[in-house]
Structure 1
Amino acid sequence: MARIISFDSRLAEGRHRPSHQGQIVRHFTPNWFATTMGTGILSIGLAQIPSQPLLFLVGQALWLFNILIFSLCCALYLTRWMFYPHEAAKIFQHPVASMFFGCIPMGLATIINGFLIYGPSHLGGHLTTLIAISLWWFDVALSVVCGLVVPFMMFTRQSHTIETMTAVWLLPIVACEVASVSGGLLLPHIDVSTAELAVMTVSCVLWACSVPLAMSILVILFLRLVLHKLPHVGMAATSWLALGPIGTGALSLFVMSQNAPEVLAANGLGSMATAIAGASFLGGLLLWGYGTWWLAIALMITLRYLKDGIPYNIGWWGYTFPLGVYAVATARLAAIVPLAPLGWMASILVGALALVWIIVALRTLSGIADRSLFVAPCIANDREITASQMDNFSK
């Protein structure tokens, strides 16, 4: 009995003692790259309102800040693999933490898109395109690896059930379609027609490797919600993740409907241009419409969670990117279809995204200050992880 009391007293003391030096690196996991996704999509979203040049400048500042965040996250995570390789490798066994590998290429994609928006005025068109396309091919490789390796780990090493399943299953899958959007945006900036065709073709394949599979996962997610109801409140933010692949898939098709015809015509495939542009637009419109249902459901679920209170954890960044990419898809649709309500809706969604980003960013800074957010679930059995830290990670 004395030994139990002694351990409990040490644990209680640990709740009020800051983590010792080195814990940040040891417990740094890929879920931190969600901060780059949320910040990056806000920087892109702010550029979608041309009537407000001040917002463009704010978006540019956020893009530069996002490059800094992404670089810092890469440095910390690579350092963890250098100094704690055995513990870092445990992530492949974890059924939740491993899903966040997809956040790395998705975070990089927002930086690539930012180069196309903000880069030319500072670096010139040629250098910007060279940097963007080089980073894009690297992003494609990362996305494909995530889309193959993580599901393979799910099939062979991890333990999953329908009851414990959440929308985080989407994260490694969606990375490919996010890269597909970036590829479509690159097309007008590439001078060589054959290179354009290669990027367009790869982008279409990336879309095909992601969207159909993501839609299949959403079917399973719907079944899981019907049979087992809402996930634990710590996973409340996952209710928004379903909007991610829908918005991204729609955005990719909208971009292709605008940029692919010129590429096809330049490569002797002009007879297909009109059909592909029309099919892409229709597909994007249908996906966007589907997204309105998930947007409404996500709002309803969030209101339901708010009744009991939602504890903060790093997973709150899951509120940002799905909302942001759907906002950008809405803005792109508004640019294609001359309906004023679409533009109003895009502005409202971007405004909501900015508000959510501010709230989540402030809570994150608080968690960074007291180091309560730095906890790696794959080594959660280690005694030095305090109970208060565990409460701050979405299980």
Structure 2
Amino acid sequence: MHSSVKPLAEIVRNFTPNWFAATMGTGALALVLDQLPLAVVGLHAVAVSLWLLNIGLFALFGLLYATRWILFFDEARRIFQHPVMSMFFGTIPMGLATIVNGFLAFGVHLIGEQAIGIAHGLWWLDATMSVACGVAIPYFMFTRQEHSMEKLTAVWLLPIVACEVAAASAGLLAPHLATSEALLVLVLGYVLWAFSVPLAMTMLVLLILRLVLHKLPERDMGVSAWLALGPIGTGALGLLVLGGDAPAVFAANGHAGIGDVAFGLGVIGGIVFWGYGAWWLALAILKTVRYLREGLPFNLGWWGFTFPLAVYTLATLALHRATGLALFSVTAGLLTICLTVFWIIVATRTFNGARTTALFSAPCLENSRWPARFEADVV
């Protein structure tokens, strides 16, 4: 007799990288709450708690996914042929980036200056993983996978956007480093930004064409409407934080004029991206309302409600700090309320889905026979 709850071996066998989207959303919410210009009692403690929870989730997910590759290697590697699930490899470095940023925001107060060294080391790992995703997954799209314009969704952005998330982290890390190392990280931050943002913007053009020609995607991909906000929000945030570092870092290395130009470009570029993001945000809201009327089935893709909105909110907060305009502070407050509500809903439903093991299902294993050595564990 088969139980409705999957045994541990089957959970491992069906564990996929889209679970790391939960670490992206949780970590990003922690960073947003920490940066709100509000003196709310307990808000910082909530942010720290979310960040610590995020570390635990990332470690657990990393253990489960590594175990899958060890025990079920032949099945695990099928992901590189899957045209949707393979895109979620980008969620791993992006989830790690929220931990890196948390060490800079919270770690120094918790464990002292060694938090900077941890963040520095993890940033290099994150940047390396991001570049690998940004090159390898598109290459597999070109050589192994089957794609068509009709099936194009914003999920294509996930492996690409990881590099610009690492770029924004570089902007947060650079001020904490020695002069020459700060310049290297800052310059690499701009390189990572350029490695990602232009390509992501071209994909958004294709996405508009696909939506015009083939209309909205199926309901199970409905939340992907929010993913377009990710590269726009992170692109704005990257320009703002890198530009904010640039005057001091370049001046310390004898290039003061370059830093002043970078600061101005960061503010203007951030505003332009923010305006572009407002259009995509409005479209995401309209499309979501339509999907909700038709019935929007829950899946791990619902975490797409959180991280893209969070990075857009972080960019909004950065624009407020740069300009002092109430437009950005009020908007950031409203976005944070929406983000928090989204996180509570999605986290609750994800917990229930994990508790019942219903969410542990790998699409790349459909019609695949259970390995003989584990069959006894299922009965």
TM over 0.5: yes
- Does the alignment pair 1:357 with 2:347? no
- Does the alignment pair 1:59 with 2:47? yes
**Residue 137 of structure 1 aligns with which residue?**
124
The whole-number CA distance in structure 1 between the counterparts of 2:258 and 2:221 is 45
1:342 to 300, 307, 328: 328
Q: In the TM superposition, what are the counterparts of 1:167-178 in structure 2 within 5 Å? A: 167-178=154-165
- Does the alignment pair 1:89 with 2:82? no
2:254 to 257, 268, 291: 268
The whole-number CA distance in structure 2 between the counterparts of 1:137 and 1:365 is 31
The whole-number CA distance in structure 1 between the counterparts of 2:253 and 2:214 is 52
Q: 1:161, CA displacement in angstroms?
A: 0.1
- Does the alignment pair 1:31 with 2:15? no
Per-residue Cα deviation, 1:312-331 (whole angstroms, up to 9, x for no partner): 11111111100111011101
**Residue identity matched to 2:141:** M
- Does the alignment pair 1:161 with 2:148? yes
**Residue 230 of structure 2 aligns with which residue?**
244
**Residue 211 of structure 2 aligns with which residue?**
225
**Residue 366 of structure 1 aligns with which residue?**
352
- Does the alignment pair 1:196 with 2:182? yes
Unaligned segments of structure 1, at least 5 residues: 1-12, 385-395
Residue aligned with 1:375, SS:
coil
**Residue identity matched to 2:270:** G
The whole-number CA distance in structure 2 between the counterparts of 1:302 and 1:372 is 24
Per-residue Cα deviation, 1:275-295 (whole angstroms, up to 9, x for no partner): 121112111110111000000
Instruction: Give me the TM-score of the superposition, normalised by structure 2.
Output: 0.95
The whole-number CA distance in structure 2 between the counterparts of 1:78 and 1:161 is 31
**Residue 317 of structure 2 aligns with which residue?**
331
**Residue identity matched to 2:313:** A
1:188–1:259 contact (8 Å) kept in structure 2: yes
Residue aligned with 2:294, SS:
coil
**Residue identity matched to 1:131:** I
- Does the alignment pair 1:22 with 2:9? yes
1:128 to 115, 118, 122: 115
Per-residue Cα deviation, 1:51-71 (whole angstroms, up to 9, x for no partner): 224211100000000000000
The whole-number CA distance in structure 1 between the counterparts of 2:91 and 2:353 is 20
User: Mean Cα displacement is larger for which, 281-290 or 142-151?
Assistant: 281-290
Runs of 4+ in 1 over 3 A off after TM superposition: none
- Does the alignment pair 1:285 with 2:271? yes
Per-residue Cα deviation, 1:250-309 (whole angstroms, up to 9, x for no partner): 001111221111000000001222212111211111011100000000000000101111
**Residue 7 of structure 1 aligns with which residue?**
none
The whole-number CA distance in structure 2 between the counterparts of 1:122 and 1:374 is 34
The whole-number CA distance in structure 2 between the counterparts of 1:196 and 1:202 is 10
Structure 1 vs Structure 2 CA RMSD: 1.2
The whole-number CA distance in structure 1 between the counterparts of 2:45 and 2:5 is 38
Unaligned segments of structure 2, at least 5 residues: 371-379
**Residue 196 of structure 2 aligns with which residue?**
210
User: Mean Cα displacement is larger for which, 135-144 or 280-289?
Assistant: 280-289
Per-residue Cα deviation, 1:27-80 (whole angstroms, up to 9, x for no partner): 001000000001000000101114224211100000000000000000000000
1:102–1:143 contact (8 Å) kept in structure 2: yes
Per-residue Cα deviation, 1:10-33 (whole angstroms, up to 9, x for no partner): xxx97x733234111000010000
**Residue identity matched to 2:329:** G
The whole-number CA distance in structure 1 between the counterparts of 2:5 and 2:103 is 39
2:175–2:245 contact (8 Å) kept in structure 1: yes
**Residue 390 of structure 1 aligns with which residue?**
none
Residue aligned with 1:210, SS:
helix
**Residue identity matched to 1:324:** A
The whole-number CA distance in structure 2 between the counterparts of 1:352 and 1:54 is 19
Q: How many residues align?
A: 369
The whole-number CA distance in structure 1 between the counterparts of 2:8 and 2:70 is 17
The whole-number CA distance in structure 2 between the counterparts of 1:207 and 1:133 is 18
The whole-number CA distance in structure 2 between the counterparts of 1:143 and 1:292 is 26
**Residue 374 of structure 2 aligns with which residue?**
none
The whole-number CA distance in structure 2 between the counterparts of 1:334 and 1:194 is 30
**Residue 315 of structure 1 aligns with which residue?**
301
2:80–2:86 contact (8 Å) kept in structure 1: yes
**Residue identity matched to 1:110:** T
2:193–2:235 contact (8 Å) kept in structure 1: yes
User: Mean Cα displacement is larger for which, 20-29 or 209-218?
Assistant: 20-29
**Residue 112 of structure 1 aligns with which residue?**
100
**Residue 291 of structure 2 aligns with which residue?**
305
The whole-number CA distance in structure 1 between the counterparts of 2:8 and 2:328 is 50
Q: In the TM superposition, what are the counterparts of 1:176-191 in structure 2 within 5 Å? A: 176-190=163-177
The whole-number CA distance in structure 1 between the counterparts of 2:11 and 2:284 is 32
Q: 1:336, CA displacement in angstroms?
A: 1.0
2:12–2:64 contact (8 Å) kept in structure 1: yes
The whole-number CA distance in structure 1 between the counterparts of 2:98 and 2:8 is 32
User: Mean Cα displacement is larger for which, 50-59 or 147-156?
Assistant: 50-59
Q: 1:383, CA displacement in angstroms?
A: 6.3
1:256–1:280 contact (8 Å) kept in structure 2: yes
The whole-number CA distance in structure 1 between the counterparts of 2:43 and 2:341 is 14
2:189–2:242 contact (8 Å) kept in structure 1: no
Cα 1:261–1:301 shift into 2, 3 Å:
same
Q: 1:341, CA displacement in angstroms?
A: 2.4
The whole-number CA distance in structure 2 between the counterparts of 1:130 and 1:370 is 39
